Structure 1
């Protein structure tokens, strides 16, 4: 796959298909969908795309990324039909956000390392004054981001405080999975829900900054 297909033309043709599916003579299933009914598919496709990116083939990744794009376009089409915004406004808002949050590329600020960029990104995000909805994403994803931000800020989460650090790790993924399963077993023995425990911990830590 050479990537020689004109992206703008390809997207135009895809948008025409989406509009037709949602049109008066379109697909009954697509016409019946709402933002709420589409949410489970958005989550499902995002997970499947993540799996394809992690260990899938190029063809699998292309297919799964297309499924995520479909969800984005369907939500934008619903809003376009309601007269509020379309995919053009979504793309334009994203472009403005990327320029605003990369002043080291599009402005005069300096950020020469990934950690410096991450800290700057979070600072700009905090200064934007946008409504911050309570984060409801997967708690392990939130925890991984929390750890990443703390490392970028020079305040890494210590490892080895409650876990025994192995000297040699032949299979890191297996080790992490075993630790997580053991943590879930410990939570059950202590009468705690591991999901709620992690949610509450992250909420406290994020509130404290």
Structure 2
């Protein structure tokens, strides 16, 4: 008999189903999508730490923890009759094939930049309900990551964020990290909340972006 192509993955799925089945683990059976959010966030950050540390064993472990979260949510949804793990996989397969016509079709995109341009075009066509370049950005992202994302979207509607000249300009990420750390230290010493301040500035930039979108002429 031919062995399944991913026997260990099938085994993990079986473990999840056993834990959440009647007579399994009371804690696992009590969980919901909402109660698992805190663990998904925690496991994601632990995976980031493992990637940055370069530790192979930690990376395997943390990837497993994140994978388990996907299985957990899918099993909850299956029990509710909403969707299954197969539905999740099928949706992702269709999405990846559709977003890569230069691989699975006859389109051409030979550089990473060309791929990203086509990706954005296809995503826009798939989600016509989105009326703003800000739509789809998770507001719960860490402030620095959110700022980078919003600044990138701002440029698409002609809104720019001026970078003030700095004599101590950071030429490397290490230098930038030290400067950011020093800025947070100065903020704390002054009794200011750097995270809240940055989020406030991001909201103001978002308002500016939406104003620019409203003022832009409609495509003919």
- Shorter chain as denominator, the TM-score bin is 0.7 to 0.9
- 8 Å Cα contact 1:49-1:61 kept in structure 2: yes
Match of 2:22, SS? coil
Distance 1:46 1:141, change over 3 A: same
Q: Is 1:137 matched with 2:140? A: yes
Runs of 5+ consecutive residues of structure 2 not aligned to the other structure: 130-134, 214-220
| 2:216 counterpart residue number | none
| 2:100 counterpart residue number | 102
Q: Deviation of residue 162 (structure 1)? A: 5.0
Runs of 5+ consecutive residues of structure 1 not aligned to the other structure: 1-5
Q: Deviations over 1:155-182 (max 9, x none)?
A: 9x77742544537659335335326526
Larger Rg: 2
Q: Deviations over 1:62-111 (max 9, x none)?
A: 10111111111100000011111111110110011111111111122222
- 8 Å Cα contact 1:143-1:202 kept in structure 2: no
Q: How does 1:41-60 map to 2 (within 5 A)?
A: 41-60=39-58
| 1:13 counterpart residue number | 11
Task: State the superposition RMSD in angstroms.
Answer: 3.5
- 8 Å Cα contact 1:23-1:31 kept in structure 2: yes
Q: Is 1:61 matched with 2:64? A: no
- 8 Å Cα contact 2:13-2:71 kept in structure 1: yes
Matched residue count: 202
| 1:3 counterpart residue number | none
TM-score by length of 2: 0.75
Within 1, Cα distance between the matches of 2:153 and 2:137? 18
Q: How does 1:145-164 map to 2 (within 5 A)?
A: 145-146=149-150, 160-164=163-167
Q: Deviations over 1:122-180 (max 9, x none)?
A: 221111126655622313223334456789x7x9x777425445376593353353265
Distance 1:75 1:12, change over 3 A: same
TM-score by length of 1: 0.78
| 1:197 counterpart residue number | 200
Match of 1:171, SS? helix
- 8 Å Cα contact 1:118-1:149 kept in structure 2: no
| 1:33 counterpart residue number | 31
| 1:70 counterpart residue number | 68
